[in-house]
Chains A and B, each alone.
Chain A
């Protein structure tokens, strides 16, 4: 079984400040890890994913995340926040094998960017 814990349901930063959204996972098998962004009344858009290989993953809109197996973490960062980054962010985990590609999501973190 897999699970995801996102620490902090709401994070507020100033424009230009560092963004750090925390995600810890639990998985009995090597996981694939994902970050999605959701704007109000819209579907989810993939920001980035870790499957295999390099543990530092770069995504769209300047976001990146680092897979740390020893810490079971996959935190999302961006050096400088923009107003357009205000949205809800979801971390998700999936099994790396088998035929069930079900994503298990965390509860989400709402990012507010202040001018």
Chain B
């Protein structure tokens, strides 16, 4: 069964360091999402890609966060410099192209980031 892959699964870093997370969506999925889930909260969308283009990054803290999907396949989310408040689970999801009501988002296992 096709799955969304994410790495690393766990990351511990010190504040002010740079971190990067990688996501490989399900093959053929044109839309890719990065969500942040703070402990005890629901996921919140950081950025949405349609192919290689950003559709929505209104909640992405652009002073320290960046995301790219250069070839419209896999994606990288970067934080530089990391702050204590960035400790969270970072979830990647993907879905097929289009406005179909069956456009389900499939989630990866997430990367748990701890900033010390």
* Residue in chain B with minimal CB distance to A44: B107
Instruction: For chain B, give the interface size range.
Output: 20 to 34
Given contacts A32-B101, A99-B55, contact A43 B107 (CB under 8 A): yes
The answer to the question of A96 belonging to the interface, with a C-beta cut-off of 8 Å to chain B, is yes
Dominant SS among interface residues on chain A? loop
Segment of B13-21, B43-51, B72-80 in the binding face: B43-51
Task: Provide the residues of chain A in CB contact with B42, threshold 8 Å.
Answer: 4, 90, 92, 105-108
A49 and B107 form a contact (CB under 8 A): no
Indicate which residue in B56, B107, B108 contacts A102 across the interface (CB closer than 8 Å). Answer: B56
Minimum C-beta distance from A72 to chain B (A): 18
Task: Provide the residues of chain B in CB contact with A97, threshold 8 Å.
Answer: 99
The distance in angstroms between the C-alpha atoms of A6 and B102, with both chains bound, is 24
B41 and A43 form a contact (CB under 8 A): no
**A to B contact number (C-beta, < 8 Å):** 62
Minimum C-beta distance from A19 to chain B (A): 19
Q: How many residues of A contact B (CB 8 A)?
A: 28
The distance in angstroms between the C-alpha atoms of A42 and B108, with both chains bound, is 8
Minimum C-beta distance from B105 to chain A (A): 6
Given contacts A100-B48, A100-B56, A105-B43, contact A51 B101 (CB under 8 A): yes
Task: Provide the residues of chain A in CB contact with B107, threshold 8 Å.
Answer: 36, 43-45
**Which residues 64-110 of A have a CB within 8 angstroms of B?**
90, 92, 96-108
The distance in angstroms between the C-alpha atoms of A98 and B112, with both chains bound, is 32
The answer to the question of A17 belonging to the interface, with a C-beta cut-off of 8 Å to chain B, is no
* Residue in chain A with minimal CB distance to B107: A43
Task: Provide the residues of chain A in CB contact with B25, threshold 8 Å.
Answer: none
Task: Provide the residues of chain B in CB contact with A9, threshold 8 Å.
Answer: 40
* Residue in chain B with minimal CB distance to A108: B42
Chain B interface (Cβ < 8 Å from any Cβ of A):
4, 31, 33, 40-45, 48, 50, 55-56, 91, 93, 95, 99, 101-105, 107-110, 112
- 13 CB contacts below 8 A, A to B, read A4-B42, A43-B4, A43-B107, A43-B110, A52-B101, A97-B99, A100-B55, A101-B103, A103-B105, A104-B45, A105-B43, A107-B41, A108-B41
